Amino acid sequence: MTSIETAPAFTPPPIAVPLAAEAPELWVLLWSQSQNALHIERLRDTLKSSRDAFADDRQMDYVPLYVGDRDGADLVADTVRPIVRNRAEKRDCTLRFPTDFLS
């Protein structure tokens, strides 16, 4: 009788990146299909979440739509926001954007 071996735990290798002074900070615009929501975060945070999901063998809901500078992420978010709102109306759900909470 053979024993079933479990896979070793995944430990991500260190990420080789240029020095901070050499590389601009990159931002990611993400879209969650299940929540029909947009989210902007630093690329390093997106990659950490993705590596953690891989290590835990769990699904990720967020789809990257843009990677670049923060202004570009905001511009693309503004461009696709009407599509997201239209989908929300079709789903008959309420959307919440950061601007919804501003007085």
Neighbouring C-alpha atoms within 13 Å toward the C-beta of 65: 23
Compute the distance between CA of residue 18 and CA of residue 53 in angstroms, rounded to an integer: 25
How far is it, in rounded angstroms, from Cα 23 to Cα 26?
A: 9
29 falls in which pLDDT band (50, 70, 90)?
Answer: very high
Residue bearing tokens 């945070």: 45
Q: What is the pTM of this model?
A: 0.68
Q: Give per-residue pLDDT as tens, 4-24.
A: 556 566 665 555 555 555 567
Q: What is the pLDDT of residues 31-84, one digit of tens each?
A: 998 999 999 999 999 999 999 999 999 999 999 999 999 999 999 999 999 999
- Euclidean distance between CA atoms 20 and 25, whole angstroms: 8
